[in-house]
Amino acid sequence: MLINSVILVLREVLEAAILVTALLALARVIQLGFNWLWPAAVASVAGVIGLASALGPLTDMLDGTGQEVTNAALQIGVFFVVCAVILDTRERSDGRHYSAFTGPLMALAVALAVTREGSEVLLYVRGFAAVESYRQAVLLGSALGAGIGVSAGTLCYWALVTRPGRLAYRLCLASLCLLGAGMVMQGVMLLEQAGWLLNVDPVWNSSWLVSEESVTGELLYAVLGYEATPGRVQLGLYLASLALAISASIYAARSPYRGGQTS
C-alpha cells in the first residue's frame, strides 16, 4: 500500500512541481518577481477543493466520461496557457521580458495544473485514509511521494536559475515545451479512455525498454506524457503541440530586442 501511495502521489506531485518550478525559474530569470504566486496559491486551493467536491456529478456527465474529459480539458488548457506565457516573455523595447499579463498567465497555468493533480491526490488520500488499516501506509506513502516530488522540483529550480542568464531563459522555455507537450499527450490519452479519440495502429512498442507499469514509466508519464504504444493520432498531436511550443519559444527567444539582460 505504501509503495502504491508513493507512486500515485509522486506521479501527480512531480508533474505539478516541475511545471511550477519551471515557471518560478522563468519568473526569476525574467525578473518578474513572485507576486503572482499568491493568487495562484489561492486559486489552486479553491480549484483542488472545488474539483474534488464536484467529481461525483462530473463523472456522471457525458455518459460517464465527465471526469476524463474534464481532466483532459485541464491538461490541454495548461498547455495553451504555457504557450501564452512563453510568447509573453519576448523582450520589449525597454528591455523587459514581461508584461502586465505574464504574472496572471503564470498564476493561471499553476492553478490549472495544481487543480488537476491536487484533486487526484486529495481524492486518493481522503478515500484510503478513511480505512483504518490503510491509513498509516497511505499517509506515510503520500508524504514520501510529495517529499520526493517537491524536492525534485526544488533542485530543478536551482539547476535552472543558477545557469547564466540567456541559457537559463532558454532552458526554462525548453522545460516548459516538454512539459506542455507531455500534458497534451496525457490529455489525449484521457480522451481515448473516454472514447472521444481512437488509439489504433501503434506506431511503436517500447514496453521492452520502459514499461508503462514500471516506476520509471510512471514517472516519465508524469513528466513527459510517456506512452509505450502511441497511436498515430496521439503521436501526431504530441508532435504538433511540441512544434507549437517550440515555435513560440523561438519567437520569444529571438524577439527583436536582444540587448537586455535576462538575469
* Cβ neighbours, 10 Å, residue 195: 13
Q: Are residues 151 and 249 in contact, defined by beta-carbon separation less than 8 angstroms? A: no
What one-letter code names the amino acid at 227?
A: E
Residues that bind another protein (rule: CB under 8 A) add up to a total of 18
- With CB under 8 A as the contact rule, which of the stretches 86-94, 154-162, 166-174, 200-208 interacts with another protein? 154-162
Is the CB of 31 or the CB of 99 nearer to another protein? 31
Write down the least CB distance from residue 4 to another protein, Å: 11
Write down the least CB distance from residue 35 to another protein, Å: 15
- With CB under 8 A as the contact rule, which of the stretches 123-131, 148-156, 221-229, 236-244 interacts with another protein? 148-156
> For another protein, what does the binding mask look like between residues 1 and 20, x meaning CB under 8 A?
xxx--x--------------
- With CB under 8 A as the contact rule, which of the stretches 57-65, 119-127, 147-155, 234-242 interacts with another protein? 147-155
Q: Is residue 152 close enough to count as binding another protein by CB under 8 A?
A: yes
- With CB under 8 A as the contact rule, which of the stretches 31-39, 92-100, 105-113, 151-159 interacts with another protein? 151-159
Query: Per the structure block, which three cell numbers stand in for 203?
Result: 506506431
- With CB under 8 A as the contact rule, which of the stretches 34-42, 153-161, 174-182, 239-247 interacts with another protein? 153-161
Among 39, 104, 147, 202, binds another protein (CB under 8 A): 147
Q: Buried b / exposed e across 122-160, counting CB within 10 Å, b at 16+? A: bebbeebbeeeebeebbeebbebbbebbbebbeebbeeb
Is the CB of 103 or the CB of 153 nearer to another protein? 153
Q: Is residue 220 close enough to count as binding another protein by CB under 8 A?
A: no
Write down the least CB distance from residue 72 to another protein, Å: 30
Among 38, 158, 251, 257, binds another protein (CB under 8 A): 158
> For another protein, what does the binding mask look like between residues 106 and 145, x meaning CB under 8 A?
---------------------------x--xx--x--xx-
Binding site for another protein (CB under 8 A): 1-3, 6, 133, 136-137, 140, 143-144, 147-148, 150-152, 154-155, 158
